[in-house]
Chains A and B, each alone.
Chain A
Amino acid sequence: MLTVFIRVVVLYLFSVLAMRLMGKRQVGQLQPYELVLALMVAEIAASPMENMGTPLLYGLVPILGLMVLHGVCTALSVKWLPVRRLLNGRPGVVIRQGCMDTVQMQKMGYTVEDLMEELRGLGYPDISEIETAILETNGRLSAFPKTIYEGVQKQDVLNDAPEKGMPRLLVVDGQVQKEHLMETGHDDAWLKTQLEKAGEKRTCDVVLASLNGEGRMYVQGKRKDRPCIFSAEREG
Protein backbone atom coordinates (compact mmCIF):
# COMPACT_ATOMS: atom_id res chain seq x y z
CA MET A 1 0.00 0.00 0.00
CA LEU A 2 2.86 2.36 0.82
CA THR A 3 4.35 1.57 -2.56
CA VAL A 4 1.08 2.53 -4.23
CA PHE A 5 1.13 5.86 -2.42
CA ILE A 6 4.75 6.57 -3.33
CA ARG A 7 4.03 5.70 -6.95
CA VAL A 8 1.09 8.14 -6.91
CA VAL A 9 3.35 10.94 -5.64
CA VAL A 10 6.01 10.25 -8.27
CA LEU A 11 3.47 9.90 -11.10
CA TYR A 12 1.59 13.04 -10.08
CA LEU A 13 4.70 15.22 -9.96
CA PHE A 14 5.92 13.75 -13.23
CA SER A 15 2.58 14.30 -14.93
CA VAL A 16 2.37 17.94 -13.80
CA LEU A 17 5.90 18.54 -15.09
CA ALA A 18 5.04 16.81 -18.39
CA MET A 19 1.92 18.94 -18.83
CA ARG A 20 3.89 22.11 -18.13
CA LEU A 21 6.51 21.13 -20.71
CA MET A 22 3.82 20.27 -23.24
CA GLY A 23 2.63 23.87 -23.21
CA LYS A 24 -0.64 25.66 -22.88
CA ARG A 25 -2.33 24.28 -25.96
CA GLN A 26 -2.92 20.96 -24.20
CA VAL A 27 -4.45 22.52 -21.18
CA GLY A 28 -7.84 23.88 -22.23
CA GLN A 29 -9.59 25.68 -19.43
CA LEU A 30 -7.86 24.06 -16.46
CA GLN A 31 -4.53 24.91 -14.91
CA PRO A 32 -1.92 22.24 -15.77
CA TYR A 33 -1.89 20.59 -12.35
CA GLU A 34 -5.70 20.59 -12.25
CA LEU A 35 -5.87 18.85 -15.62
CA VAL A 36 -3.41 16.20 -14.41
CA LEU A 37 -5.58 15.66 -11.37
CA ALA A 38 -8.73 15.27 -13.48
CA LEU A 39 -7.08 12.81 -15.87
CA MET A 40 -5.43 10.71 -13.17
CA VAL A 41 -8.45 10.54 -10.92
CA ALA A 42 -10.59 9.35 -13.83
CA GLU A 43 -8.06 6.68 -14.78
CA ILE A 44 -7.41 5.49 -11.23
CA ALA A 45 -11.08 5.33 -10.38
CA ALA A 46 -11.80 3.25 -13.49
CA SER A 47 -9.39 0.44 -12.57
CA PRO A 48 -11.02 -0.90 -9.36
CA MET A 49 -14.39 -0.34 -11.01
CA GLU A 50 -13.77 -2.72 -13.90
CA ASN A 51 -11.63 -5.22 -11.99
CA MET A 52 -13.44 -6.74 -9.05
CA GLY A 53 -10.25 -8.51 -7.93
CA THR A 54 -8.66 -5.16 -7.11
CA PRO A 55 -9.45 -3.96 -3.59
CA LEU A 56 -11.40 -0.72 -3.45
CA LEU A 57 -8.67 0.81 -1.31
CA TYR A 58 -6.29 0.51 -4.29
CA GLY A 59 -8.51 3.09 -5.98
CA LEU A 60 -9.34 5.17 -2.92
CA VAL A 61 -5.83 5.61 -1.51
CA PRO A 62 -4.31 6.97 -4.77
CA ILE A 63 -7.23 9.36 -5.25
CA LEU A 64 -6.92 10.48 -1.65
CA GLY A 65 -3.21 10.96 -2.25
CA LEU A 66 -3.94 13.05 -5.33
CA MET A 67 -6.44 15.15 -3.43
CA VAL A 68 -3.87 15.85 -0.72
CA LEU A 69 -1.20 16.72 -3.30
CA HIS A 70 -3.63 18.98 -5.10
CA GLY A 71 -4.47 20.68 -1.80
CA VAL A 72 -0.77 21.25 -1.10
CA CYS A 73 -0.14 22.58 -4.63
CA THR A 74 -3.14 24.92 -4.44
CA ALA A 75 -2.25 26.21 -0.98
CA LEU A 76 1.39 26.76 -1.94
CA SER A 77 0.50 28.47 -5.20
CA VAL A 78 -1.92 30.80 -3.41
CA LYS A 79 0.69 31.57 -0.79
CA TRP A 80 3.84 31.93 -2.90
CA LEU A 81 4.13 33.54 -6.31
CA PRO A 82 7.17 31.48 -7.46
CA VAL A 83 5.22 28.25 -6.83
CA ARG A 84 2.27 29.70 -8.76
CA ARG A 85 4.58 30.55 -11.66
CA LEU A 86 6.07 27.06 -11.56
CA LEU A 87 2.74 25.24 -11.51
CA ASN A 88 0.61 27.53 -13.66
CA GLY A 89 3.18 29.22 -15.88
CA ARG A 90 2.86 32.83 -17.02
CA PRO A 91 0.40 34.39 -19.40
CA GLY A 92 2.04 35.32 -22.69
CA VAL A 93 1.31 38.34 -24.89
CA VAL A 94 0.80 37.03 -28.43
CA ILE A 95 -0.40 40.33 -29.96
CA ARG A 96 1.33 43.45 -28.70
CA GLN A 97 0.30 46.91 -29.92
CA GLY A 98 -1.50 45.33 -32.86
CA CYS A 99 1.49 43.23 -33.89
CA MET A 100 1.86 39.47 -33.51
CA ASP A 101 4.74 38.42 -31.24
CA THR A 102 5.91 35.40 -33.24
CA VAL A 103 8.80 34.63 -30.88
CA GLN A 104 6.43 34.40 -27.94
CA MET A 105 3.99 32.31 -30.00
CA GLN A 106 6.74 29.91 -31.01
CA LYS A 107 7.83 29.60 -27.37
CA MET A 108 4.28 28.64 -26.39
CA GLY A 109 3.72 26.29 -29.32
CA TYR A 110 0.92 28.51 -30.55
CA THR A 111 0.37 28.75 -34.30
CA VAL A 112 -1.19 31.55 -36.36
CA GLU A 113 -4.10 29.21 -37.15
CA ASP A 114 -4.69 28.66 -33.43
CA LEU A 115 -4.64 32.40 -32.86
CA MET A 116 -7.08 33.10 -35.70
CA GLU A 117 -9.38 30.31 -34.52
CA GLU A 118 -9.49 31.73 -31.01
CA LEU A 119 -10.02 35.28 -32.27
CA ARG A 120 -12.91 34.15 -34.48
CA GLY A 121 -14.37 32.39 -31.46
CA LEU A 122 -14.17 35.64 -29.52
CA GLY A 123 -15.97 37.51 -32.31
CA TYR A 124 -12.95 39.16 -33.98
CA PRO A 125 -12.55 37.72 -37.47
CA ASP A 126 -10.13 40.51 -38.43
CA ILE A 127 -6.80 40.44 -36.59
CA SER A 128 -6.18 44.09 -37.50
CA GLU A 129 -8.90 45.07 -35.02
CA ILE A 130 -6.89 43.68 -32.10
CA GLU A 131 -4.57 45.84 -30.03
CA THR A 132 -3.53 43.21 -27.46
CA ALA A 133 -4.10 39.46 -27.09
CA ILE A 134 -2.91 37.41 -24.16
CA LEU A 135 -2.72 33.63 -23.94
CA GLU A 136 -3.73 32.98 -20.34
CA THR A 137 -2.28 30.26 -18.10
CA ASN A 138 -5.46 28.20 -18.42
CA GLY A 139 -5.02 28.11 -22.22
CA ARG A 140 -7.73 30.65 -23.07
CA LEU A 141 -7.08 33.69 -25.20
CA SER A 142 -8.03 37.16 -23.96
CA ALA A 143 -8.30 39.74 -26.75
CA PHE A 144 -8.59 43.52 -26.43
CA PRO A 145 -9.63 45.46 -29.56
CA LYS A 146 -8.16 48.77 -30.65
CA THR A 147 -10.04 51.74 -29.23
CA ILE A 148 -11.64 52.64 -32.58
CA TYR A 149 -13.28 49.20 -32.69
CA GLU A 150 -14.64 49.34 -29.14
CA GLY A 151 -18.28 50.08 -28.42
CA VAL A 152 -19.05 53.77 -27.96
CA GLN A 153 -19.39 54.97 -24.39
CA LYS A 154 -20.48 58.34 -23.05
CA GLN A 155 -16.95 59.41 -22.23
CA ASP A 156 -15.85 58.62 -25.79
CA VAL A 157 -18.39 61.09 -27.12
CA LEU A 158 -17.43 63.73 -24.62
CA ASN A 159 -13.64 63.37 -24.88
CA ASP A 160 -10.99 62.23 -27.29
CA ALA A 161 -10.35 58.51 -27.07
CA PRO A 162 -6.64 57.76 -26.77
CA GLU A 163 -5.34 54.15 -26.86
CA LYS A 164 -5.73 52.75 -23.38
CA GLY A 165 -2.95 50.15 -23.61
CA MET A 166 -2.73 47.19 -21.29
CA PRO A 167 -2.89 47.64 -17.53
CA ARG A 168 0.37 46.55 -15.87
CA LEU A 169 0.45 44.67 -12.61
CA LEU A 170 3.15 46.39 -10.60
CA VAL A 171 2.74 44.58 -7.28
CA VAL A 172 1.19 41.14 -6.78
CA ASP A 173 0.93 39.63 -3.30
CA GLY A 174 3.48 42.06 -1.92
CA GLN A 175 6.06 41.38 -4.62
CA VAL A 176 7.14 44.07 -7.08
CA GLN A 177 6.89 42.91 -10.69
CA LYS A 178 10.15 44.39 -11.97
CA GLU A 179 9.49 43.52 -15.63
CA HIS A 180 6.14 45.30 -15.66
CA LEU A 181 7.51 48.26 -13.75
CA MET A 182 10.28 48.65 -16.33
CA GLU A 183 7.75 48.40 -19.17
CA THR A 184 5.86 51.34 -17.75
CA GLY A 185 9.10 53.34 -17.70
CA HIS A 186 9.08 53.85 -13.95
CA ASP A 187 11.39 52.77 -11.15
CA ASP A 188 11.14 51.53 -7.55
CA ALA A 189 11.32 55.02 -6.10
CA TRP A 190 8.38 56.15 -8.22
CA LEU A 191 6.38 53.06 -7.19
CA LYS A 192 7.15 53.70 -3.53
CA THR A 193 5.87 57.26 -3.86
CA GLN A 194 2.65 56.10 -5.50
CA LEU A 195 2.06 53.43 -2.86
CA GLU A 196 2.62 55.98 -0.11
CA LYS A 197 0.09 58.18 -1.83
CA ALA A 198 -2.36 55.27 -1.53
CA GLY A 199 -1.53 54.95 2.18
CA GLU A 200 0.70 51.89 1.85
CA LYS A 201 4.10 52.33 3.46
CA ARG A 202 5.36 48.80 2.89
CA THR A 203 5.21 46.94 -0.44
CA CYS A 204 4.61 43.62 1.33
CA ASP A 205 1.25 44.98 2.57
CA VAL A 206 -0.03 45.50 -0.97
CA VAL A 207 -2.15 42.72 -2.47
CA LEU A 208 -2.39 44.29 -5.92
CA ALA A 209 -1.15 47.48 -7.51
CA SER A 210 -1.72 48.12 -11.20
CA LEU A 211 -1.27 50.99 -13.62
CA ASN A 212 -3.39 51.30 -16.74
CA GLY A 213 -2.55 52.96 -20.02
CA GLU A 214 -4.35 56.15 -19.01
CA GLY A 215 -2.10 56.50 -15.97
CA ARG A 216 -4.73 55.44 -13.46
CA MET A 217 -3.34 53.62 -10.47
CA TYR A 218 -5.22 50.90 -8.56
CA VAL A 219 -3.89 49.91 -5.15
CA GLN A 220 -5.47 47.30 -2.87
CA GLY A 221 -3.87 46.87 0.54
CA LYS A 222 -4.11 43.78 2.72
CA ARG A 223 -5.86 45.58 5.53
CA LYS A 224 -8.05 47.84 3.43
CA ASP A 225 -11.68 47.17 2.63
CA ARG A 226 -11.64 49.24 -0.55
CA PRO A 227 -9.01 49.78 -3.23
CA CYS A 228 -7.44 53.19 -3.67
CA ILE A 229 -7.80 54.49 -7.25
CA PHE A 230 -6.04 57.66 -8.34
CA SER A 231 -4.13 59.25 -11.21
CA ALA A 232 -0.48 58.32 -10.97
CA GLU A 233 2.10 61.06 -11.08
CA ARG A 234 4.35 61.23 -14.10
CA GLU A 235 8.01 60.75 -13.36
CA GLY A 236 10.42 63.65 -13.25
Chain B
Amino acid sequence: MGRAIWVALISMGLILLASLYADGARRNIGYQLMERRQKVLEYAQHGNWEMAKQMLLETENWWKEREERLALFTHHELTDAVGDGIAQTLLALEKGEVYELFAGLERLKNAAERLHEQDAFVLKNIL
Protein backbone atom coordinates (compact mmCIF):
# COMPACT_ATOMS: atom_id res chain seq x y z
CA MET B 1 0.00 0.00 0.00
CA GLY B 2 1.08 3.51 -0.69
CA ARG B 3 2.34 6.00 1.86
CA ALA B 4 -0.92 7.97 1.67
CA ILE B 5 -2.92 4.99 2.90
CA TRP B 6 -0.56 4.46 5.84
CA VAL B 7 -0.76 8.13 6.77
CA ALA B 8 -4.56 7.97 6.59
CA LEU B 9 -4.75 4.77 8.64
CA ILE B 10 -2.38 6.12 11.30
CA SER B 11 -4.40 9.35 11.45
CA MET B 12 -7.58 7.34 11.86
CA GLY B 13 -5.98 5.38 14.69
CA LEU B 14 -4.90 8.59 16.43
CA ILE B 15 -8.42 10.02 16.12
CA LEU B 16 -9.86 6.84 17.62
CA LEU B 17 -7.39 6.93 20.52
CA ALA B 18 -8.10 10.62 21.19
CA SER B 19 -11.84 9.91 21.06
CA LEU B 20 -11.48 7.02 23.51
CA TYR B 21 -9.46 9.22 25.88
CA ALA B 22 -12.02 12.06 25.73
CA ASP B 23 -14.95 9.67 26.30
CA GLY B 24 -13.17 8.01 29.21
CA ALA B 25 -12.31 11.33 30.86
CA ARG B 26 -15.89 12.59 30.60
CA ARG B 27 -17.41 9.38 31.93
CA ASN B 28 -14.93 9.28 34.80
CA ILE B 29 -15.67 12.85 35.86
CA GLY B 30 -19.41 12.14 35.64
CA TYR B 31 -19.03 9.05 37.85
CA GLN B 32 -16.93 10.88 40.45
CA LEU B 33 -19.44 13.71 40.52
CA MET B 34 -22.26 11.23 41.20
CA GLU B 35 -20.30 9.74 44.11
CA ARG B 36 -19.58 13.19 45.62
CA ARG B 37 -23.21 14.21 45.22
CA GLN B 38 -24.28 10.99 46.98
CA LYS B 39 -22.06 11.85 49.98
CA VAL B 40 -23.57 15.35 50.20
CA LEU B 41 -27.05 13.79 50.12
CA GLU B 42 -26.20 11.30 52.89
CA TYR B 43 -24.80 14.06 55.13
CA ALA B 44 -27.91 16.19 54.50
CA GLN B 45 -30.27 13.26 55.19
CA HIS B 46 -28.54 12.66 58.53
CA GLY B 47 -28.93 16.36 59.41
CA ASN B 48 -25.20 16.98 59.22
CA TRP B 49 -25.47 20.18 57.15
CA GLU B 50 -22.02 21.46 58.05
CA MET B 51 -20.34 18.36 56.64
CA ALA B 52 -22.64 18.49 53.63
CA LYS B 53 -21.61 22.09 53.01
CA GLN B 54 -17.91 21.26 53.42
CA MET B 55 -18.22 18.32 51.02
CA LEU B 56 -20.05 20.50 48.52
CA LEU B 57 -17.39 23.23 48.70
CA GLU B 58 -14.73 20.60 48.07
CA THR B 59 -16.79 19.36 45.11
CA GLU B 60 -17.10 22.89 43.78
CA ASN B 61 -13.30 23.35 43.80
CA TRP B 62 -12.79 19.90 42.34
CA TRP B 63 -15.29 20.74 39.57
CA LYS B 64 -13.75 24.13 38.77
CA GLU B 65 -10.39 22.45 38.19
CA ARG B 66 -11.93 20.13 35.59
CA GLU B 67 -14.70 22.19 34.03
CA GLU B 68 -12.56 24.07 31.54
CA ARG B 69 -10.82 20.94 30.25
CA LEU B 70 -14.11 19.06 30.05
CA ALA B 71 -15.73 21.87 28.07
CA LEU B 72 -13.29 21.15 25.23
CA PHE B 73 -15.13 17.95 24.36
CA THR B 74 -18.56 18.21 26.04
CA HIS B 75 -21.58 20.34 25.20
CA HIS B 76 -21.33 23.51 27.26
CA GLU B 77 -24.96 23.36 28.39
CA LEU B 78 -24.04 20.18 30.26
CA THR B 79 -21.04 21.64 32.07
CA ASP B 80 -23.14 24.74 32.85
CA ALA B 81 -25.87 22.51 34.32
CA VAL B 82 -23.37 20.94 36.74
CA GLY B 83 -22.14 24.38 37.83
CA ASP B 84 -25.72 25.59 38.31
CA GLY B 85 -26.62 22.48 40.34
CA ILE B 86 -23.67 22.98 42.68
CA ALA B 87 -24.47 26.69 43.11
CA GLN B 88 -28.19 26.00 43.81
CA THR B 89 -27.37 23.30 46.39
CA LEU B 90 -24.78 25.49 48.09
CA LEU B 91 -27.20 28.42 48.35
CA ALA B 92 -29.87 26.15 49.83
CA LEU B 93 -27.37 24.83 52.42
CA GLU B 94 -26.39 28.35 53.40
CA LYS B 95 -30.02 29.47 53.71
CA GLY B 96 -31.15 26.23 55.33
CA GLU B 97 -33.92 25.58 52.80
CA VAL B 98 -34.68 21.87 52.63
CA TYR B 99 -36.79 21.83 49.45
CA GLU B 100 -34.27 23.95 47.57
CA LEU B 101 -31.48 21.66 48.80
CA PHE B 102 -33.09 18.50 47.41
CA ALA B 103 -34.07 20.29 44.21
CA GLY B 104 -30.41 21.35 43.77
CA LEU B 105 -29.15 17.82 44.48
CA GLU B 106 -31.65 16.40 41.97
CA ARG B 107 -30.42 18.85 39.35
CA LEU B 108 -26.83 17.88 40.12
CA LYS B 109 -27.72 14.19 39.85
CA ASN B 110 -29.31 14.67 36.42
CA ALA B 111 -26.34 16.65 35.14
CA ALA B 112 -23.82 14.11 36.47
CA GLU B 113 -25.76 11.21 34.95
CA ARG B 114 -25.90 12.91 31.57
CA LEU B 115 -22.18 13.63 31.81
CA HIS B 116 -21.55 9.96 32.51
CA GLU B 117 -23.89 8.57 29.86
CA GLN B 118 -24.07 11.10 27.02
CA ASP B 119 -22.52 10.00 23.71
CA ALA B 120 -21.76 6.59 25.23
CA PHE B 121 -20.41 4.13 22.68
CA VAL B 122 -23.61 2.08 22.38
CA LEU B 123 -25.61 1.04 19.32
CA LYS B 124 -28.52 3.30 20.25
CA ASN B 125 -26.33 6.39 20.05
CA ILE B 126 -24.65 5.32 16.81
CA LEU B 127 -27.92 4.61 15.04
Give the CA-CA distance A54 to B71 in the complex, in Å.
9
Beyond A55-B71, A55-B72, A75-B4, is A10–B15 a contact (Cβ under 8 Å)?
no
Q: Identify the B interface with A (CB < 8 A).
A: 1-2, 4-5, 7-9, 11-12, 15-16, 18-20, 22-23, 26, 71-77, 119-121, 125-126
- Residue contacts A-B, CB under 8 angstroms, 15 given: A3-B120, A3-B121, A6-B121, A10-B126, A54-B75, A55-B73, A56-B72, A57-B72, A58-B75, A68-B12, A68-B15, A71-B7, A75-B5, A79-B2, A79-B5
Those 9 A-B pairs whose CB atoms lie nearest each other, nearest first: A71-B8, A75-B4, A1-B19, A2-B19, A53-B76, A1-B22, A75-B5, A72-B8, A3-B125
In the bound assembly, the distance between CA atoms of A4 and B11 in angstroms comes to 16
Q: Give chain A residues whose Cβ lies under 8 Å from the Cβ of B11.
A: 64, 67-68, 71
Q: How far is the CA of A76 from the CA of B72 in the complex (A)?
A: 34
Residue of A nearest to B78 (CB): A53
**Considering only CB atoms, which chain A residue lies closest to B10 in the complex?**
A68
Contacting residues, chain A, for B120 (C-beta < 8 A): 3
Interface size class, chain A: 20 to 34
Q: Are A78 and B76 neighbours in the complex by a CB distance under 8 Å?
A: no
Q: Which residues of B contact A65 (CB under 8 A)?
A: 12, 15
Contact of A55 among B1, B7, B23, B76 (CB under 8 A): B76
Most chain B CB within 10 A, of A1, A3, A58, A68, is at A1
A3 contacts B7, CB within 8 Å?
A: no
Chain A proximity of B21: nearest CB distance (Å): 8
Known interface pairs A53-B77, A55-B71, A55-B74; A5-B4 also in contact (CB < 8 Å): no
Q: How far is it, in angstroms, between the C-alpha of A71 and the C-alpha of B10 when the chains are bound?
A: 12
**Nearest neighbor of B22 in chain A, beta-carbon distance:** A1
The smallest beta-carbon distance between A151 and chain B, in angstroms, is: 41
Interface residues of A in 55-95 (CB under 8 A from B): 55-58, 61, 64-65, 67-69, 71-72, 74-76, 78-79
Q: Is there a chain B Cβ closer than 8 Å to A202's Cβ? A: no
Is A157 positioned at the interface, with any CB of B under 8 Å from its CB? Answer: no
